[in-house]
Amino acid sequence: MQNSPDSPPPTLLERIRSKITSGELEPGNPLSEVSLAQEFDVSRTPIREVLKQLQLEGLIEIRPKVGTFIREPNRREIVELFQLKEVLEGLAAALMARRGPCPELDDLEEIVAASEVSSNAGDTDTYASQVQDFHQTLVDGADNNKLVEQYARLMNQLAYFRLVRKTLKHPGRAVDSSREHRQILTMIKDKDPFGAETTMRAHVFASTQELLVPQTRTTLSLERDS
């Protein structure tokens, strides 16, 4: 959905990154340069460049002279990333409200309408992907490329795919979430940046709570990290 206009051949970086973010590789799994080189039929050199960049993105950890491992963010990092997610998406909502009519606004309208159907029908799988679309479209609609980049990096680090599946299992959460989406959309259309930002942040915060609570009892215990 995000590369519908043009799909240039995916970069080696993107291909390897998607192997990680898609969950194809388990966290902690070692990533050998030679095996990756063989798999993608290239030399070790371009593989190394990619791995260095993925380390910079926080997806993997290169232990010198030992090996490369898929990194799993600990609980503290997840909380930190969600704090960032909250303000970034809040900024996106505010910017979009200030911007006024744009193609992404129409897309949002469609997504919200469709997600209301699926959430009421209890189709959580469909709704989950529509949630992704909603947030991504909103960020795109902010018309701020640097925001888009930072947001993409953040979502990659979260390996968001791995988390969302859990968050919507809660009965009633999908319906609440859908209602919040509708509120945000209305405020954007009303050109209310402050309201849109505030509501968006509350929405992200609520979703975060839903996502973090079931894993441990205490919400933000920030236990020992590293």
Complete DSSP assignment for 4-21: SS--PPPPHHHHHHHHHH
Rounded to an integer, what distance in angstroms lies between the CA atom of residue 212 and that of residue 101? 35
The residue among 43 and 120 lying less far from a second copy, judged by its C-beta, is 43
Residue with smaller CB distance to a second copy, 123 or 143: 143
Q: Which does 196 bind (CB under 5 to 8 A by kind): DNA, a second copy, none?
A: none
> For the chain, how long is the longest CA-to-CA vector?
57
91 touches a second copy by CB under 8 A: yes
Burial class (CB in 10 A: 0-12, 13-18, 19+), 4: exposed
Q: Among 64-72, 147-155, 165-173, 206-214, which window interacts with a second copy (CB under 8 A)? A: 147-155
Nearer Cβ to DNA (26/101)? 26
The residues in 3-62 that bind a second copy, with binding defined as CB under 8 A, are 45, 48-49, 52-53, 56-58
Position among 81, 97, 155, 212 found at the interface with a second copy (CB under 8 A): 81
DSSP category for residue 144: -
Supply the Cα-derived Rg of the chain in whole angstroms: 19
Please, which residues bridge with residue 60 across strands? Answer: 70
Binding region for a second copy (CB under 8 A): 45, 48-49, 52-53, 56-58, 77, 80-81, 83-84, 87-88, 90-91, 95, 144-147, 149-150, 154, 157
